[in-house]
Amino acid sequence: MAGLKIRKGDRVKVLTGKDRGKEGTVMRAFPAQRKVIVDGVNVAKKHQAPTRSTQQGGIIDKDMPLPVANVALVCPSCGKATRVGYKVDGSGQKVRTCKKCGGEIS
Ligand SMILES: [Zn+2]
């Protein structure tokens, strides 16, 4: 399984591209493509045709996927953008850890 170190619900910081420096929450992760959608990042204006559910159509803002390599996890413990490590806890579960402060990332 091609897992990503970054998951839905994580807070991340954008490292490169037009949204460099922005922070946001991962809304969706696409492990097969190694891409993530981050709230408010990599927004594209999309022309939307009216559908039965949206009624009106028009131009909408859409968050586009970006490569997971372009973002870094923001550690909930130390608040820094960090690389993610792993360790195995007492019950044999693999948990993510912050490379900066060593804290566990749930
Ligand atoms: Zn940390």
Residues of the chain predicted below pLDDT 70: 1-2, 54
DSSP 32: T
Whole-number pLDDT of residue 47:
87
Instruction: Check if the beta carbon of residue 39 is closer than 8 Å to that of residue 65.
Output: no
Whole-number pLDDT of residue 2:
53
Whole-number pLDDT of residue 1:
44
Q: How far is the CA of 100 from the centre of ligand 1 (A)?
A: 5
Whole-number pLDDT of residue 56:
76
pTM score: 0.83
Residues with CB under 5 A from ligand 1 (ion): 75, 77-78, 98, 100-101, 103
Instruction: Check if the beta carbon of residue 9 is closer than 8 Å to that of residue 77.
Output: no
Q: How far is the CA of 70 from the centre of ligand 1 (A)?
A: 19
